[in-house]
Each structure stands twice: as structure tokens, then as C-alpha cells.
């Protein structure tokens, strides 16, 4: 009986391990780094799902989850952005003393991710909804950038060369770093994708979102991920359920 209480925490530690491995790979292969962010997301989902399934929630589990998330969904995305900004500076042959420090702007993401997680742990409003962009969603979005750069086209036959320009442009990368850092702590009510039951009526918005996301991934592969995150924010903003739950808080 006691063993089952530790299963969610073990899964959380695998999330943290995935983040640590992602950091090691970031020095040589940023693509593998992105894949390990995806693996960390799977473990992050499984630990919460298992905790609810086994009724094994605990304060230690909650704190451990946040500590793991700071690494996997804070530090790692920051490193990915750092590498991308660094490469954009080198490829465009920018010169100047100040440009040496520009890639370090990327580490605003780990800082604001840590702040977002600390707020989440102490914000009673965030039991049914999220306030601000969840760190896993932010990490998935940032991890998709290197993967989009190695994708030439989609199943729909769309050429992605012009799309690649965005993720190699220093101005876009700095802007997206600042914008995502803000979204992490913004007073923005967003839909939670946690399922208390699998009843269609209670989860219709979630099922529609997941269905559209799956179709988008099949058609556009990695390039669908930024679109999915934008769709997630828009659906949340126009969701009556999220709005009224936020108002009641």
C-alpha cells in the first residue's frame, strides 16, 4: 500500500532526469534536447495522472513536481533559446561588445518559469484553471523551434523555408523570449487540460481542442506546435467555463 504513494514521485524524478539529460545534449545536439523536453512532458503528465488515479497526492509531491519543472520546463527552454539566439548572432555576423550578452536574455525564461511555479503552488485560484501560461506548454513551444528548423515541408505540401527565417532571426527570438516570459506570469485565465472525469459534456472544449491539435500535428508535424499553443490561448480566452471560474475566484 505504501509503494503506490511513491509512484507519482518516481515519475516526477524521471521528468527531472529527462531535463538533466536534455541539458547535457544541449552542448552538442539541440535537436535531442528538444526531444527530451517532450519526454519530460510525458512524465509530467503521468505523475499527475497517477497521483489522481492512486489518490497519492502530497505536499512533497507538489513541491517536487515544481522543482523538476523548473529544470525541465524552465532551464532547458532557456538554454534552447540561448543557443538559437547565439547561432543567429554568429550566422548574421553581428559584431559589437553588447551582442556578446544578448543571448543571455534567454535566461529570463527560467527566471519567470520559477516565479510562475512558485505562484502556482500558492494560488488557490489555480485548482480548476491556470493563471498565466503553464510552464510545460511554454517549454513545448520553445522546444519546437529547433525541430521546425529541420523540417522542410508538411504533409499538406507547404514549404517552410520562410517559416525558418523567424527562428533564425535575432529580433524575433528576443521578442518571443520577452513575450513568453510575460505570459508565464500574466493574469491570464487559461484552460486546464486535467481531466477529473472523461464525460463528454463536462470536457467538450478539451476534447475539441485535443482533436484539432491531433489533426494539426498529423498535417503539419512540428510546425503545428506554435499554432496549437496560440489556439490553446484563444480557446481559453473565449471559453465561458474558464472565464466564470476565474470570476468566482
pLDDT digit string (tens) for 165-186? 889 899 999 999 999 999 999 9
Average pLDDT over residues 26-52: 93
The 10s digit of each residue's pLDDT in 129-172 is: 788 999 999 999 999 999 999 988 776 777 777 788 889 899 99
Q: How far apart are CA 121 and CA 219, in angstroms?
A: 37
Return the C-alpha cell found at 122: 500558492
Residue 92: predicted pLDDT: 67
Residue 189 has pLDDT above 70, yes or no: yes
Write the CA distances from 184 to 29, 108, 170, integer angstroms: 27, 11, 21
- Residue-range domain boundaries for the chain: 3-189
Residue 138: predicted pLDDT: 97
Q: How far apart are CA 225 and CA 79, in angstroms?
A: 19
Q: How far apart are CA 158 and CA 227, in angstroms?
A: 15
Residue 196: predicted pLDDT: 65
Residue 89 has pLDDT above 80, yes or no: yes
> Residues 78-117, buried b or exposed e (16+ Cβ, 10 A)?
bbbbbbbbbbbbeeeeeeeeeeeebbebbbbbbebbbebb
**Are 205 and 191 within 8 A, CB to CB?**
yes
The 10s digit of each residue's pLDDT in 90-111 is: 876 666 666 778 999 999 999 9
Average pLDDT over residues 62-73: 94
**Are 7 and 54 within 8 A, CB to CB?**
yes
Residue 32 has pLDDT above 60, yes or no: yes
pTM: 0.89
- Tally Cβ neighbours within 10 Å of residue 162: 8
Q: Could you tell me the sign of the dihedral formed by the alpha carbons of 242, 244, 247, 248, in that order?
A: negative
Q: How far apart are CA 32 and CA 137, in angstroms?
A: 18
Write the CA distances from 141 to 111, 132, 152, 153, integer angstroms: 17, 15, 18, 19
169 CB burial (10 A radius; 0-12, 13-18, 19+)? middle
Q: Give residue for cell 517549454.
A: 139
Question: Which range scores top for mean pLDDT: 11-25, 45-59, 210-224?
Answer: 11-25
Residue 159: predicted pLDDT: 74
Average pLDDT over residues 209-226: 92
Question: Which range scores top for mean pLDDT: 16-30, 146-160, 187-201, 202-216?
Answer: 16-30
Instruction: Determine phi and psi for 35, rounding to 5 degrees.
Output: -65, -40
Q: At what angle do helices 108-121 and 59-70 cross, to 10 degrees?
A: 170
Average pLDDT, rounded, for the chain: 87
* Alpha helices by DSSP H, the chain: 3-25, 30-53, 59-70, 76-91, 108-121, 135-149, 161-166, 170-185, 204-220, 224-237, 240-248
Residue 35 has pLDDT above 90, yes or no: yes
**Are 33 and 22 within 8 A, CB to CB?**
yes
CATH of domain 3-189: 1.20.120
Residue 246: predicted pLDDT: 46
Residue 186 DSSP symbol: S
Residue 238: predicted pLDDT: 78
132 CB burial (10 A radius; 0-12, 13-18, 19+)? buried
Amino acid at each position: 500500500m505504501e509503494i503506490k504513494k511513491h509512484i507519482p514521485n518516481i515519475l516526477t524524478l524521471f521528468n527531472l532526469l529527462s531535463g538533466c539529460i536534455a541539458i547535457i545534449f544541449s552542448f552538442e545536439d539541440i535537436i535531442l534536447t528538444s526531444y527530451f523536453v517532450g519526454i519530460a512532458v510525458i512524465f509530467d503528465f503521468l505523475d499527475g495522472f497517477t497521483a489522481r488515479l492512486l489518490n497519492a497526492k502530497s505536499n512533497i509531491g507538489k513541491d517536487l513536481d515544481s522543482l523538476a519543472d523548473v529544470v525541465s520546463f524552465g532551464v532547458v527552454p532557456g538554454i534552447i533559446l540561448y543557443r538559437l539566439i547565439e547561432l543567429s548572432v554568429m550566422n548574421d555576423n553581428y559584431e559589437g561588445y553588447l551582442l556578446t550578452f544578448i543571448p543571455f536574455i534567454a535566461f529570463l525564461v527560467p527566471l519567470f518559469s520559477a516565479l510562475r511555479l512558485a505562484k502556482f503552488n500558492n494560488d488557490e485560484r489555480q485548482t480548476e484553471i491556470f493563471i498565466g501560461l503553464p510552464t510545460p506548454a511554454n517549454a513545448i513551444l520553445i522546444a519546437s523551434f529547433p525541430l521546425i528548423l529541420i523540417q522542410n515541408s508538411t504533409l499538406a505540401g507547404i514549404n517552410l523555408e520562410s517559416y525558418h527565417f523567424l527562428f533564425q532571426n535575432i529580433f524575433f527570438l528576443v521578442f518571443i523570449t520577452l513575450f513568453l516570459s510575460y505570459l508565464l506570469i500574466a493574469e491570464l485565465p487559461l484552460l486546464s487540460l486535467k481531466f477529473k472525469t472523461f464525460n463528454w459534456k463536462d470536457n467538450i472544449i478539451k476534447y475539441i481542442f485535443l482533436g484539432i491539435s491531433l489533426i494539426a500535428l498529423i498535417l503539419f508535424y512540428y510546425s503545428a506546435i506554435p499554432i496549437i499553443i496560440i489556439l490553446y490561448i484563444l480557446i481559453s480566452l473565449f471559453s465561458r467555463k474558464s472565464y466564470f471560474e476565474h470570476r468566482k475566484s
